[in-house]
Amino acid sequence: MIAVILSGHGAFASGIEQAIHQIIGEQDQFRAIDFPVDMTTPQLETAMRTAINELDSNDGIVFLTDLLGGTPFRTASLLSQERQYIEVITGTNMQMAAEMLLERDELTIAEFPKQALECGRRGITSLTVEMALKSEKSVAVIEDGI
């Protein structure tokens, strides 16, 4: 199973972790690592290394981070250079995290990032857009005579 390590500024990671537990339940091979104001970059790196060592099953590890260029992203990126099968994805949202935790058994470490980006994008929308899409689908069904 691909291991997932979620990290971000403040309580980003633990907040998403709590929501994931509420929505899809406890997840194996999953760790949330917060980066609060009082944590140093070396402390974050140590926490990430510990998670890698504890979760590594040789199926791959994916870091889901909050912000491109932020310390969690940069730290995970540096760690990914040490092992061939570590991927780093940024811009994580709840949609992406939940779907990818559920779908990771069906994916290889090479397929995971592409699918994660699709899930994340699908989760970014607005009510107006969704209502318009629903309306378009209804019109298509009527025009097809169904």
For residue range 9-58, list pLDDT tens digits in order: 999 999 999 999 999 999 999 999 999 999 999 999 999 999 999 999 99
Domains and CATH numbers, the chain: 3-143 (3.40.50.510)
Burial class (CB in 10 A: 0-12, 13-18, 19+), 85: middle
As given in the structure block, the two tokens for residue 78 are 């540096």
Residue 137 has a pLDDT of: 79
Is the pTM here over 0.75, yes or no?
yes
Are the C-beta atoms of residues 99 and 119 closer than 8 Å to each other? yes
Report yes or no: 34 and 60 within 8 Å, Cβ to Cβ.
Answer: no
pLDDT for 91 = 97
pLDDT tens string 49-89: 999 999 999 999 999 999 999 999 999 999 999 999 999 99
Neighbours of 120 (CB within 10 A): 21
Over range 103-119, report the average pLDDT.
96
Report the distance separating Cα 136 and Cα 104, nearest Å: 32
Q: Which residues of 15-52 are buried (b: 16+ CB within 10 A; e: fewer)?
A: ebbeebeeeeeebebbbbbbbeeeeeeeebbebbeebb
Q: What is the pLDDT of residue 65?
A: 98
116-121 average pLDDT score: 96
Query: Over 80: is that where the pLDDT of 142 sits?
Result: no
Measure the N-to-C terminal CA separation of the chain; round to a whole number of Å: 43
pLDDT average, residue stretch 118-129: 94
At 138, is the pLDDT very low, low, confident or very high (cuts 50, 70, 90)? Answer: confident
pLDDT for 70 equals 98
33-to-2, 20, 36, 38, 75 alpha-carbon distances in Å: 17, 14, 9, 14, 12
